[in-house]
Every structure is written in structure tokens, then in C-alpha cells.
Amino acid sequence: MRKMIVLVAVFLFAFSAASFGMINIPWLASGGFYQNDASTPLLNNIGDTALIQLLSAGANGTIDSPTTSGNFVGGDDQLLVQLVFTNQNGGSFEPFATSGANYGTYTNAYSSFNVYGRIFLGTTPTNGTWYYDGPTAATINEPDQSNTQLYDLNRNLVGGEGDAVNQQVVGAVPEPATLGFLGVGVGLLLFRRFRK
């Protein structure tokens, strides 16, 4: 009887490991990045930094614009992992925010979503900060935890020359009613001032 219980337990463990796989995503940028002029390395000077994020595209599966607060993720997107990359010594890869190696590996229990990468010039995005969004890729269920799903921020490159940060962060735009109230307030202040 004891052997039977052990066999059933081993079978259930093996079945659960196969059924409930993992997400194993080593992520990197194979070609690196340029500033918005498409010719100057992103981190042109020693000490320059970039914020690099790996994100989930949320329930709708599409990339939402970043925000200027919190973890800088907008809409229903979710931050999976982020790091700050610094040009420490001006080596051959560092100015392009790539080291020729992985940024790391994101590992979690499997769930189905679209993953994508984002890189900001600097570590605290504000209105006007340049950034680049990598392509989306569907997660893959990896029952064998030794298997990985490589994610490359530069996957859409042709020729391997690097991508330029080609979008700018835009802050929240006030609603017309808010602007209207602001205008009325300024008008009343001016009226009061000139009335005296």
C-alpha cells in the first residue's frame, strides 16, 4: 500500500510539473540603441544611464503609452522587471545600452500574455523623455524549466545597426473643463485687480 501511495504521489508531481509550466525569458538587446537622431549612441557619455523594463501588455495585449509617475507604466500594462543600465567605462557595447549579454532572466509561473521591452533615456522619465518600445511576443509555456524563450528588444532590426529611441513621453493633458475653470479663475482675479 505504501508503494502505491508513493507511486501516485510521484505521478501527480510529474503531471503537475508538466501541466503547470514556467515562463523563462532571458531578455537582451542584440543591436543596442541610438538617441533620437539615429546616429549618436544612446549613452554617449560615461555615467549616462537608461531605464530598461520588461513588461506585460495587459489584458488587451497591446502596448500602452508610459506615464510620468510610479513605475512609468500606463494603461493595463504591468511591470515585470526593470534595471538601470549605466555607461561605466565607455566600452564598445555600453554606449549602446547593451553588454552583449542578457539583462537577466524573468521567471514565473506560466500565464498567457504578450511581453515587450521598453528603454528610456535616463532613469526618471518626464514629459519629452525619449524612449523605445520593443516588439510584443506571446509567452510560451515551458514545462521543462531548462527551456527558455529569448526576448530581444531589437528583434525587428534589419541589418543589426541598433534602434533609435523614437517616441516621447507625453504627460496627462488637462480636460477642456479644467482649462475652462482655470480661465474663469484668472479672469476673476484680473477683474478684481483692475476694479480697485
Percent of residues, the chain, with pLDDT higher than 70: 78
Please give the single-letter amino acid code of residue 141: N
* C-beta separation of 106 from 80 below 8 A: yes
Q: Express each pLDDT in 117-172 by its tens digit.
A: 999 999 999 999 999 999 999 998 877 767 788 899 998 776 667 899 999 998 65
At residue 178, φ and ψ (nearest 5 deg) are -65, -45
Secondary structure (3-state) at 195:
helix
Give phi and psi for 187, each to the nearest 5: -60, -45
CB 10 within 8 A of CB 17: no
Report the DSSP pairing between strands 163-164 and 33-34: parallel
Residues of the chain with pLDDT below 50 are 14-19
Question: What is the widest separation between alpha-carbon atoms in the chain?
Answer: 99
CA angle in degrees (0–180, nearest 5) for 188-190-194: 120
SS3 track for 34-60? ECCCCCCECCCCCCCEEEEEEEECCCC
Give how far the C-alpha of residue 34 lies from the chain's centroid of Cα atoms, to the nearest Å. Answer: 17
> What DSSP state is assigned to residue 95?
G
User: What's the pLDDT at 10?
Assistant: 54
Instruction: Return the pLDDT at 17.
Output: 45
Residue 131, all three cell numbers: 524612449
